[in-house]
Amino acid sequence: MLWLFDTNSEVCQGMTDSWGCFEKDQISWYEEETERIKRHLGYVPLGLAFFHIPVPEYRDCYNWRKTYGKRNEVISCPKKNTELFKSMLVKGNINATFCGHDHDNDFGAFFFDIELVYGRKTGYGGYGPSWFSRGARVIKLKEKINENTGEITFDYRHYVIEESGNIVQNSEPLWRGGYDYVDRCER
């Protein structure tokens, strides 16, 4: 399953000085749709989620987990954590999330059982990238079907292809030392 979410661009639940976030009705939709699919198929297929503005867990991930890639600018997430990530953990059907928004970040890491990943700045509008070449994160999926149950699962891998054609594999995750970057997120 591919889950596509709209974070809006600015304003989070009435806070005009915040980047956009997931509204309660979006989270309810995700939870209800997950349950509807589970009733229909008899299981919850795993998937990937895509959205523009990172959830606050991206900051926590960078602060307290081993990460690969680069954090070259502050993490600009909403000032309120509306708990989509928590809902994804409870539902257990998301392998990874992919976001953009911060043009000079392309890091990723596992936070609990979900991989949180930044894309790579691709276009020429807006600022950046300042610290690396333009490129795109490519995701390769390999579907597997259990012949006995019919249950569908998948493996995935991803990497960056730079504008020049150079392929950048994800490096070995490194521990950054547990420094608590506050960035532009809620606290």
pLDDT tens digit string along 25-62? 999 999 999 999 999 999 999 999 999 999 999 999 89
In a domain, 41, yes or no: yes
Under the banding of pLDDT at 50, 70 and 90, the label for residue 186 is low
In a domain, 178, yes or no: no
Listing DSSP states for 110-125 in one string gives EETTEEEEE----SSS
What pLDDT does residue 168 have? 95
Query: What average pLDDT does range 110-116 have in this prediction?
Result: 96
What pLDDT does residue 102 have? 94
In a domain, 116, yes or no: yes
pLDDT tens column, 54-95: 999 999 989 889 999 999 998 999 999 999 999 999 999 999
What pLDDT does residue 152 have? 87
DSSP letter at 51? -
What pLDDT does residue 45 have? 92
Give the range of the structural domain holding residue 161, as residue numbers without chain letter: 2-168
In a domain, 68, yes or no: yes
What pLDDT does residue 37 have? 96
In a domain, 125, yes or no: yes
In a domain, 151, yes or no: yes
In a domain, 9, yes or no: yes
Distance, CA of 88 to CA of 92 (rounded, Å): 6
Asked whether 176 and 62 are in contact (CB, 8 A), the reply is: yes
In a domain, 180, yes or no: no
**Total domains in the fold of the chain:** 1
Q: Which two tokens stand for residue 180?
A: 């608590």
Distance, CA of 25 to CA of 31 (rounded, Å): 10
Distance, CA of 19 to CA of 32 (rounded, Å): 26
pLDDT tens column, 129-185: 988 999 999 999 999 999 999 888 899 999 999 999 999 999 999 987 667 777 777
Q: What is the pTM of this model?
A: 0.93
What pLDDT does residue 176 have? 76
Residue 9 main-chain phi, psi, to 5 deg: -105, -40
